[in-house]
Amino acid sequence: MKLKAALILLVVLGLRGSVCAQVTQQPSPSPTPTPNEDQEAVKVFTEEVRLPVIAVDQYGHYDPTLEVDDLLVLEDGVAQQIRSIRHFPANVLFVLDTGGELSGLGGMSKRTGLTRDVAIKLLNNLKDGTQISVMQFSESVELIQSWTKDKQAVLTVLRTKLTSGKRSRFSEAVVAAARQLADRPEGSRHVVFITDGVDTPGGKTGRSEAIKQLTAARATVHIISYTEFVRQKKAGRPSSVSVGQLPSSSDPMTATDPTLPAGTTRNPSFGVGVRFDPAMRRQRKAYEADIKKSQQVLSSVADETGGRIFLPKTNEEMIAQAADAAREIGAEYVVTYRPKRPLVSSTRGEYRKIEVASRRVGVSVRSRRGYVVPEGNE
Q: pLDDT tens digit string along 311-360? A: 999 999 999 999 999 999 999 999 999 999 998 888 888 899 999 999 99
pLDDT confidence of residue 192: 98
Contact 52, 41 (CB under 8 A): no
Contact 54, 328 (CB under 8 A): yes
- pLDDT, tens only, 92-146: 999 999 987 654 444 556 889 999 999 999 999 999 999 999 999 999 999 999 9
The runs of H, that is alpha helices, within the chain are: 2-25, 112-125, 151-160, 170-180, 207-216, 227-236, 252-256, 278-305, 315-330
Band (184; pLDDT cuts 50, 70, 90): very high
Predicted structure pTM score: 0.75
132: Cα separation from own chain's centroid: 12
CA distance 82 to 97: 39
The number of CA neighbours under 13 Å toward the Cβ of 288 is 12
List the beta bridge partners of residue 364.
56
Band (27; pLDDT cuts 50, 70, 90): very low
Strands 220-225 and 189-195: parallel
pLDDT confidence of residue 335: 95
Residues in CB range of 58: below 8 A, 6 or more apart? 362, 364
CA distance 190 to 180: 11
Mean pLDDT of 249-257: 52
Mean pLDDT of 39-57: 71
pLDDT confidence of residue 32: 47
DSSP string, 153-182: HHHHHHHHS---BS---HHHHHHHHHHHTT
Radius of gyration of the chain (CA): 36
CA distance 350 to 348: 6
User: Phi and psi dihedrals of 75, rounded to 5?
Assistant: -115, 115
pLDDT confidence of residue 250: 52
Contact 167, 100 (CB under 8 A): yes
Q: Please state, for a pLDDT cut of 70, what percent of the chain lies above it.
A: 72
**What domains appear along the chain, each with residue ranges and CATH number?**
49-235+278-377 (3.40.50.410)
Q: Which amino acid is at 235?
A: A
